[in-house]
Amino acid sequence: MRKLVTLLMMALLVATSVGTALAGDTLADVKKKGVLVVGCKDSLPPFGYIDENSRRIVGYDIDFVNAIAKKLGVTVELKPVTSASRMPQLQEGHIDIIAATMTKNAERAKVIDFSHTYFFTGQKFITKKGSVKSLKDLDGKRIGTAKGSTSEQNVKRAIPTSTVLSFDDYPQAFLALQQGKVVAVTTDEAILAGILAKAPNKAQFEIPAIQISDEPYGLGMRKGDTNFVNFVNKTILEMEKSGEAAKIFEKWFGSNTQFHLERTFKITADK
């Protein structure tokens, strides 16, 4: 019996210390090591994708973490993640922060902490032109999306009769659409618009005006990592105030008034 109690106490001790080590103080750690390790997307323009000339990952998400790193006086190391891998990568300590088209919601906020909203969009579909006019047209159809995304959950809820095919990331789902293996790809409109803009045969596709959810993006940090969360939030607020956030928006979205209006209204409401 005494042995069992000792074992249990040891297990508890290990569990507590692992928990503490993981929550830790990323702000202090990052300053000490001189580098902020960021989990980002590498195939989703304009959020995170490989620039053809520089061969570096660039984008809206990247510019936000660059600004945070600059304020900390450290460099940035970018590690590509998928929708499914980003939370485990953070929890296991392989990355310090997630900047990867990630929606903040209550379910995820049980596991990780989120920054203030830094982008706002909503879930739509990309389809062959003229094939889908309303959600009903997607009843019983095959729809592509990404594993581990809110898109996957939302579409199953919105169209229960559909067959959802989940890929590692959205460009693979779009390839399936081009090959006729699915009739639609669904995720955040801003991602779909980025995919469509780069598609060689874009005239064949469209994004019908059917929205099934709101998707506010937040930067993801380890649960209970309070100093770091506060620092990131403070930096985002400063960026909003100084106009730096708006400048980053214009760099990647230009005069896209729709996303601009959503950004201005919804992000202000978030604070």
Instruction: Show the site string, 181-200: x = touches ligand GLU by CB under 6 A, - = not.
Output: ------xx--x---------
Does 213 bind ligand GLU (CB under 6 A)? Our answer is no
Number of residues that bind ligand GLU (CB under 6 A): 13
Of 61, 215, 225, 262, the one binding ligand GLU (CB under 6 A) is 215
Say how far apart CA 133 and CA 105 lie, in whole Å. Answer: 29
Applying CB under 6 A, among 66, 85, 115, 151 the residue interacting with ligand GLU is 151
For position 225 contacting ligand GLU by CB under 6 A, the verdict is no
Q: Which of 150, 166, 186, 235 binds ligand GLU (CB under 6 A)?
A: 150
- In the complex, the smallest distance separating the C-beta of residue 204 from ligand GLU, rounded to whole angstroms, is 23
Helix/strand/coil percentages in the chain, nearest 5: 45, 25, 30
We find the least distance from the C-beta atom of residue 150 to ligand GLU, in angstroms, to be: 4
Alpha-carbon distances of 91 from 12, 147, 149, 166, 225, rounded to whole Å:
19, 18, 17, 23, 11
| 154 counts as binding ligand GLU under rule CB under 6 A | no
Q: Which is nearer to ligand GLU, 26 or 101 (CB)?
A: 101
Note whether 27 and 68 are within 8 A (CB): no
At 95, the amino acid letter reads: I
Site for ligand GLU in 60-89 (CB under 6 A): 83
Amino acid at 196: L
Note whether 240 binds ligand GLU by CB under 6 A.
no
Phi, psi of 57 (to 5 degrees): -80, 125
Residues 29-54: b if buried by 16+ CB within 10 A, e if exposed:
bbeeeebbbbbbbbbbbbbbbeeeee
Q: Which two tokens stand for residue 20?
A: 């503490």
Among the candidate windows 63-71, 97-105, 223-231, 237-245, which touches ligand GLU by CB under 6 A? Answer: 97-105
Smallest distance, ligand GLU to C-beta of residue 53, A: 25
Burial of 162 (0-12, 13-18, 19+ CB in 10 A): buried
Q: Contact with ligand GLU (CB under 6 A): which of 66, 103, 117, 127?
A: 103
Site for ligand GLU in 35-54 (CB under 6 A): none
Q: Which residues bind ligand GLU (CB under 6 A)?
A: 83, 100-103, 146, 149-151, 187-188, 191, 215
